[in-house]
Amino acid sequence: MPDTGELTTTPEPGTVCRYGPQDEVLHDPGSAATYNESAYLNFAAGPATDGLLGGVLRVGLRPNEGYSQFYLCLPMSDGSTLYWSARSPLDAATFPVGRTTWTSSSLTMDVLDPGRTWRITYEDEQTRRVVDPGALDHVGRALNASDAVRCRLDLTFTADRPLHVMQPTGEMIPGQDAAKDHYEQFGTVSGTLVVGDRTYPVSAARSFRDHSWGPRDYVSAMSDMDWFNLSLDGGPDFVGYRINSRPDLSVQGVRIDGAGAAFLDDVVVRSDWTGLGAVRGPLSIEMAVAGERVTMDVEVVRAVMIRHRSAEQTVHNTFGLVRVRAGDLGGGGWLDLNRPAAVTGAAAAASRGFPGSRPPGSPTR
């Protein structure tokens, strides 16, 4: 991909960046202590869905730290959320470089056709049905208080947009050791979710996925990041973020449709959420791209709140399934809001940019 920041025009699955089907494999972790290779996927099933409203799934592989981890979050129309996360041992000496499968415990994400088709399978009897998703602000307490259910998921992701990056270098956060190599893609997912003895179909739900690899130190800049991926019905797809306290890193993102892709010039997420309690009140997203301004009104359908703690800080994270409206077009997707609750120790002295860490199961890409 050229370094000018321009994206090539192509309406079909393929690539508009330097990454391509050859990158849909596990890479050599080298000796980097914090090497991470992850596959992430979310989907939104639409407003009329009875049963499964959407989902967020991720497999992260950290061979040089000796473990893999996954999380799964599936909001249901009855108000509950199916949630589970676990770690498994992973041996760096036998890390399968070149393999096209990401697996951790009961979740597997498998490349069927590089750059076009993936299969996602999950089966676990320990999945928790969380009645109050807000209770996940205290994850352990919420999971211990929730009933375990047998859950089986089988989805196929089919791309209808090319692989793309959020900014020219391919890094998720320029200049930071966080997903140095990172690309993304929009498409749809179809398949089934089985909970107990009941089956819920998923049909052509709008979906977004990413793949990243390289050293991954979680940084304080991410503690006040607003991130989203949104799809307008019959219109373009958008992915972007803004780090509110870092104007030097501030905005990254892409608008992509059948005519091609363009980098976002500006992003503003308007919300009164401070990190405590439910996300309430008016919420909107404004973007500038290719000489146009796009404004979306946002309705949160389901929000899951997670509290991340490290030695340096506590961060409140809300990731929400949302519906949006931009003029005459409706749509949906996922919104991820992060707010620092407290900063201590070395991070307070450094103010920003201090490497931190997040616990297993954190909903980070």
The answer to whether residue 1 is domain-embedded is no
Q: Where are the alpha helices (DSSP H) in 196-319?
A: none
Q: Which of 74, 71, 92 is nearest to 29 (CA)?
A: 92
Q: Which two tokens stand for residue 279?
A: 């996300």
pLDDT recorded at residue 2: 33
Q: Could you tell me if residue 11 is inside a domain?
A: no
- Helix/strand/coil for 94: helix
Of 285, 250, 54, 276, nearest in space to 166 by CA: 250
**Cβ burial 38-64 (10 Å sphere, 16+ → b, else e):** bbbbbbbbbeebebbbbbbbbbbbbbb
Residue-level pLDDT at 44: 96
**CATH at residue 154:** 2.40.370.10
**HSE-up of residue 332 (Cα within 13 Å, Cβ side):** 22
Would you write out the chain's pLDDT as a tens digit for each of its 365 residues?
333 344 555 546 789 988 999 999 999 999 999 899 999 999 999 776 789 999 999 999 999 999 999 999 999 999 999 999 999 999 999 999 999 999 999 999 999 999 999 999 999 999 999 998 777 767 788 888 999 999 999 999 999 999 999 877 666 666 666 667 899 999 999 999 999 999 999 999 999 999 999 987 655 446 778 899 999 999 999 999 888 777 666 678 999 998 889 999 999 898 887 777 777 767 999 999 999 999 999 999 988 877 666 555 667 778 899 999 999 999 999 999 887 765 443 333 332 222 223 334 445 56
Per-residue model confidence (pLDDT) at position 337: 86
Contacts of residue 289, defined as CB under 8 A and 6 or more positions apart, other chains included, come to 255, 262, 263, 264, 265
- Of the candidates 294, 209, 289, the one whose C-alpha atom is nearest the C-alpha of residue 253 is 289
Within-domain flag for 216: yes
Domain span holding position 147: 21-356
Q: Looking at the domain assignment, is residue 188 inside a domain?
A: yes
Helix (H, G, I), strand (E, B) or coil at 1: coil
Dist CA 38 CA 172 (whole Å):
13
Q: Is residue 124 part of a domain?
A: yes
Nearest-5° Cα angle at 364, 312 to 109: 145
Q: Is residue 361 part of a domain?
A: no
- Using a 10 angstrom Cβ sphere, with 0-12 exposed, 13-18 middle and 19 or more buried, the burial of residue 235 is middle
Main-chain dihedrals φ then ψ at residue 349, nearest 5 degrees: -65, -40
Asked if residues 24 and 39 have their Cβ atoms less than 8 Å apart, the reply is no
Strand ranges in 63-172 using DSSP code E only, listed in sequence order: 67-75, 81-89, 101-104, 107-113, 117-130, 147-159
Strands 329-343 and 292-309: unpaired
Q: Give how many domains the chain has, as a whole number.
A: 1
For residue 315, give every residue at least 6 positions away whose Cβ sits within 8 Å of its Cβ, in sequence order, or none.
Answer: 222, 223, 275, 307, 308, 338, 339, 340, 341
Q: Is residue 2 part of a domain?
A: no
DSSP string, 31-93: T-TTEEEEEEEEEE--TT-SSB-EEEEEEEEEGGGTEEEEEEEEEBTTS-EEEEEEEEE--GG
Structure tokens at 104: 């951790």
Within a domain: 13: no
pLDDT in tens, 283-304: 999 999 999 999 999 999 988 8
Q: Are 100 and 107 in contact (CB under 8 A)?
A: no
